[in-house]
Amino acid sequence: MKKVVYALILLFLFASCNDNGSTNSKAQVPAEEQIIPLERPNPNSKPVTTCSENITSETGRLNHWKFAVALYETHQTFMYRVQIQYAELNITDSLQLPNLGFMPKPALQKGKDDYSCIIGFLDDKNVFRDYKLVSVTDGNVRIHTLKYYSVQRGTAAQ
C-alpha cells in the first residue's frame, strides 16, 4: 500500500512540474527582463538634453554669462557626460543612470531656485524621476544626489 501512495505522490509531482511544452524564447520574456546592451556603438556628439538660463546680475548681463547643464552620450549605455557652465566656470562630470530593466531616457528640469537644474530620467511610463540636483550657492557649483534607485527581484505568490 505504501508503494502505491508513494507512486501516486511522485506521479502528482511530475504532472505538476510539467511546463506544458513552453519554450524560453526572447519573444516570451517580459520587457523588463530583456537584455540591454552595455555598449553604445555610436554615441551622439550632440547633447541629449540641455537646460540653460542667463545670469541676471549686472556682470552676467555684460559678459553674456549663463548657467547651463547638458548631457551627452558615452560609449557606455547607462553612462552620460555632464557638462556644466556657470559664468566662466566649465565643469565636466559623469552620470550613471540606473539599469532598471528598461532604457531610461535622460531628462532635465528647471530647479525651484535660480541657477538650478534637476537631472533625471523618464521611466517606462514616461514619468520624470528626479535623480541629481545641480545648483549654484554663493558662486559654488554643487551636485547633490536627490534619490537612489535600485531593482529588486521578487517572486509572485501563487
Q: Output the pTM of the full model.
A: 0.72
* Residue-level pLDDT at 27: 36
* Residue-level pLDDT at 14: 45
Q: Which three cell numbers stand for residue 124?
A: 517606462
* Residue-level pLDDT at 102: 85
For each of the chain's 158 residues, which pLDDT tens digit applies? 555 444 545 444 444 444 444 333 333 444 445 688 889 889 999 999 999 999 988 888 889 999 999 999 999 999 999 999 999 999 999 999 988 888 889 999 999 999 999 999 998 899 999 999 999 999 899 999 999 988 777 655 55
**Pairwise CA distance, residues 71 & 101, whole Å:** 21
* Residue-level pLDDT at 101: 83
* Residue-level pLDDT at 124: 87
For the chain, what are the domain ranges? Answer: 35-145
Say if residues 144 and 127 touch (Cβ distance below 8 Å).
no
Say if residues 61 and 55 touch (Cβ distance below 8 Å).
yes
* Residue-level pLDDT at 81: 97
Say if residues 120 and 130 touch (Cβ distance below 8 Å).
yes
How many helices (H) and strands (E) in the chain?
Answer: 2, 8
Letter for the amino acid at 40?
Answer: R
* Residue-level pLDDT at 33: 56
